[in-house]
Amino acid sequence: MTVADEFALEADADVRAATGAPAPRPGRRRRQAMGALKYVLLTFGALLMVLPFADTFIGALRSPADVFANPPRYFPSDPQWGVYGRVFAELPMGRWIFNSVVVTVTITVVQVATSAMAGWALARYEFPGRANAFRLVVGAQMFPFFLFVIPIFFLLRFAPLAGGNDILGQGGSGLLGTYAALVLPFAVTWYGVFLMRQFFTTIPEELIEAARLDGASEWLIFRRIALPLVRPALATLAVFAFVYHWNEFIWTMTITRTAPELQTLPVGIFLLENQFQDLDQKALQQAALAVSVLPVLVLFALAQRFFVSASMESAVK
């Protein structure tokens, strides 16, 4: 699950770190090379990418009559635009979206903060234990997520003095059933620390020295001088974290099975599976899927620059 994504994130930057691939030079490319064939290939691939989404948007508009026909009709005979209203009326869509936003934004902010701070310390300070701390950051990336699901579930469950628990972690539900259970296990991303460290090593020392001579505190140097210089990296990390956690579902589902008030969009849709079992509920399910895809799609449209160009910049490091 998540592991694949973590790895992919690593792949994105590490590959470039490893190969020293420079940023793409947009603009002029040789035009004549493969002629029209390449566009045929790209268009065919693009169709394969888009058709499944189109299938869902079309399916959402089918009426019960279309579904109950034998054989069922593919294109809606009477498009049911009202289905999008039903999605919000019949499903706790608002709640899910709210939770998704709260959880994803919190994790993103926390991850960017912890990554930047730790990356800064590892990049610019000499202190006892630094080598080991760096080894930890690299080594911890090796542990796959599935290893943690069971133990962290119970550690949160038996967290002392939380959720009605006594000092021994007994008697209540601990941190389960709280937003903390959805956020804390993702408070640090090892890859993020690694990435930020790479970036901070490139800041010119003169700027920092100048600030220090002016009597700026270490925190102030970090906050006022270092951070603004690595904005593209922060944006890259934030965008990746946002997309990843907007879509995360195994952990959130495990924790919120019994806490519907905390369920996020993917978890809610997944756990309401039997709501959608009847044939005439399929359109509702497809509409819910369409709605769940849209917010990230908009973000993507707005921030594509950061998805791609910022991640390319990270490649130069």
Partner 1 sequence: MRRRGAPARPGGSAPYWFLAPVFLFTGAFLVLPLGFSVWLAFTRWNPLSEPRWVGTRQFEFLLTRDDAFWGTLGNTFVFAGALVVIGVPLALGLAFVFSRARGKAAWRAIYYLPQITSFVAIAYIWQFVLDDRYGLANRLLGLAGLRGFDWLSDPTMAMVSIVLVMVWYDVGRNMVVFSAAIEGVPKDLYEAAELDGAGAWLQFSRITVPIIRPAVVFVTVTSFIGGMGFFALILAMTKGGPRGATEVTALYLYEMAFQDLRMGRASAGALILFAIIAVLTVLQFRLLRERRG
Partner 2 sequence: MRRPILAALLATAPAGAFAQGGPLTLAMHYNQEQAAPLLACLDIYEDETGQAAEYRQISYGDYLQTVLTGRIGGTQPDIYHLYSIWGAQMAENGVLAEPPEEVADFVRETYGETAEAATIDGTLYGVPTEVSVYMLVSNMALLREAGYDSPPATWEELREVADAITTRNDQGRIETAGFAFADSAAGSVHPFYALLASRGGEVYSDGFSEANLDSPEAAAAVRDMAGLVEDGITDKSVDGFDFPAGGIGMIVMANWMKSSIQEGLGSLDDVAVTPIPAGEGWRTLSYAFFMGVDSQSERQDDAWALVRWLNSDASADESGVSCMGRVLSGIGALTANASDNAAMGEADAFTQPFLDALAEGRATGQPNVMQAAEIEGMMAEAIDTVLAGDAEAEAALEDLDGRVEDILFEFY
Q: Does 74 bind partner 1 (CB under 8 A)?
A: yes
Burial 219-244 (b: 16+ CB within 10 A, else e): eebbeebbbeebebbbbbbbbbbbbb
Partner from partner 2, partner 1, none binding residue 282, C-beta < 5-8 Å depending on class: partner 1
Residues 255 and 261: beta-carbon distance below 8 Å: no
Q: Read off the tokens for 186.
A: 């993702």
**In which element (H, E) is residue 197 found?**
helix 190-200
Q: Which member of 162, 230, 233, 269 binds partner 1 (CB under 8 A)? A: 269
Output 190 or 276, the one with its CB closest to partner 2: 276
User: Smallest gap, in angstroms, from Cβ of residue 79 to partner 1?
Assistant: 17
User: Smallest gap, in angstroms, from Cβ of residue 85 to partner 1?
Assistant: 20
Q: Which member of 204, 277, 301, 302 binds partner 2 (CB under 8 A)? A: 277
Report the distance separating Cα 246 and Cα 107, nearest Å: 10
Residue carrying the six token digits 């991640």: 311
Q: Which member of 3, 50, 279, 297 binds partner 2 (CB under 8 A)? A: 279
Partner from partner 2, partner 1, none binding residue 164, C-beta < 5-8 Å depending on class: partner 2
Q: Is the peptide bond before 92 cis (omega within 30 degrees of 0)?
A: no
Q: Does 4 bind partner 1 (CB under 8 A)?
A: yes
Q: Which member of 82, 85, 144, 164 binds partner 1 (CB under 8 A)? A: 144
Q: Does 32 bind partner 2 (CB under 8 A)?
A: no
Q: Which member of 172, 232, 299, 309 binds partner 2 (CB under 8 A)? A: 172
Q: Which member of 133, 216, 229, 259 binds partner 1 (CB under 8 A)? A: 133
What is the chain's length? Answer: 317
Name the one range near partner 2 by CB under 8 A: 129-137, 212-220, 224-232, 255-263.
255-263
Residue carrying the six token digits 């941190």: 175
Q: Read off the tokens for 260.
A: 């519907």
Q: Does 138 bind partner 1 (CB under 8 A)?
A: no
Number of CB atoms found within 10 A of residue 211's CB: 18
Q: Which member of 70, 127, 215, 228 binds partner 2 (CB under 8 A)? A: 70
Partner from partner 1, partner 2, none binding residue 38, C-beta < 5-8 Å depending on class: partner 1
Name the one range near partner 2 by CB under 8 A: 115-123, 153-161, 206-214, 238-246.
153-161
Q: Does 205 bind partner 1 (CB under 8 A)?
A: yes
Q: Which member of 77, 81, 130, 161 binds partner 1 (CB under 8 A)? A: 130
Residue carrying the six token digits 């009326």: 89
Partner from partner 1, partner 2, none binding residue 278, C-beta < 5-8 Å depending on class: partner 2
Please, which of residues 288-317 interact with partner 2 by CB under 8 A?
A: none
Q: Read off the tokens for 301.
A: 């449209």
3-state class (DSSP) for residue 257: coil
Q: Does 18 bind partner 1 (CB under 8 A)?
A: yes
Partner from partner 1, partner 2, none binding residue 277, C-beta < 5-8 Å depending on class: partner 2
Class of residue 35 by CB neighbours under 10 A (exposed 0-12, middle 13-18, buried 19+) = exposed
Q: Read off the tokens for 46.
A: 């693009």
Q: Does 39 bind partner 1 (CB under 8 A)?
A: yes
Output 44 or 154, the one with its CB closest to partner 2: 154
Q: Read off the tokens for 154.
A: 């119970």
Secondary structure (DSSP) of 128-144:
TTHHHHHHHHHHHTTS-
Residue closest to 62 by CA, chosen among 266, 279, 302: 279
